[in-house]
Amino acid sequence: MSSPLPPFKAKHLSRCSKLPNYAQTILPLLQHASHVALHLPVLMSRLEAMSGAFEVLVSDLSRLVSSSPNLPLASLRSLLTHFFVYYVRVSDSLTLIQSGEIRHPKEPRPRFESRLKECGVRRDGYTRMYKGERYSGVSYDEWANETVGLSTLLSSSLSSHPSLSSKLLAPVHSVMDGVQERQNLVSSLLKSLVSRLSAAVLGSAFCGGGARGTFKVTAL
């Protein structure tokens, strides 16, 4: 039997398919988990490419601002606006990978509905962790959420077969651990890039002085 649901192994799927609740409960969860495991690394690679381009942009802007203490205020505003537009795009993409929250209306309808909206309020009895209008169903949280995540639901469905559960889910855990590690690197990079540009702008402000210095502090 060849595996129709990568990265799950065929021999584990074969054993799993003999369980009484397979078709109604386990199979839909496996299909969703397979979809996440296949597509999330692709989205992560796109984000890494985007963040790499953003790093080049910040390096160029920092060098320009540092070498031009008398840069006109209008030019500085234009440069920083370009920076913030790109930053928001990268930040939104990072959010899409973490929680799957869709912040742009033109995103296509998800193939699998997200379960994250089913999470109730936090312990404070008021706020919600997942309060966005739409979620993609393909995210790290979709797999790892301790309440409604696919890992949690599959482990619960296979609770009477812990050895099978561990072996079946291990390949997806490995994929998700890799995604989380790469995601953390991008998040750290974003913070360092913001700090780098802020330092360049503030350094230039002290050289240029006056109202321009005030603008830079409030803008960054």
Q: What is the pLDDT of residue 204?
A: 66
Q: What is the pLDDT of residue 189?
A: 95
Q: What is the pLDDT of residue 137?
A: 96
Low-confidence ranges of the chain (pLDDT < 70): 1-3, 120-123, 125-126, 204-220
Residue 138 CA, distance from chain mean position: 10
Q: What is the pLDDT of residues 154-213, one digit of tens each?
A: 999 999 999 999 999 999 999 999 999 999 999 999 999 999 888 888 776 555 544 444
119: left (phi over 0), alpha (psi -120 to 50) or beta: beta
Q: Sign of the CA dihedral 33, 37, 40, 42?
A: negative
Q: What is the pLDDT of residue 4?
A: 80
Nearest to 84 by CA among 204, 209, 218, 205: 218
- 102 phi/psi in degrees, rounded to 5: -95, 115
Residue 212 CA, distance from chain mean position: 35
Cβ within 8 Å of residue 91, ≥6 positions away: 190
Nearest to 51 by CA among 150, 183, 176, 168: 183
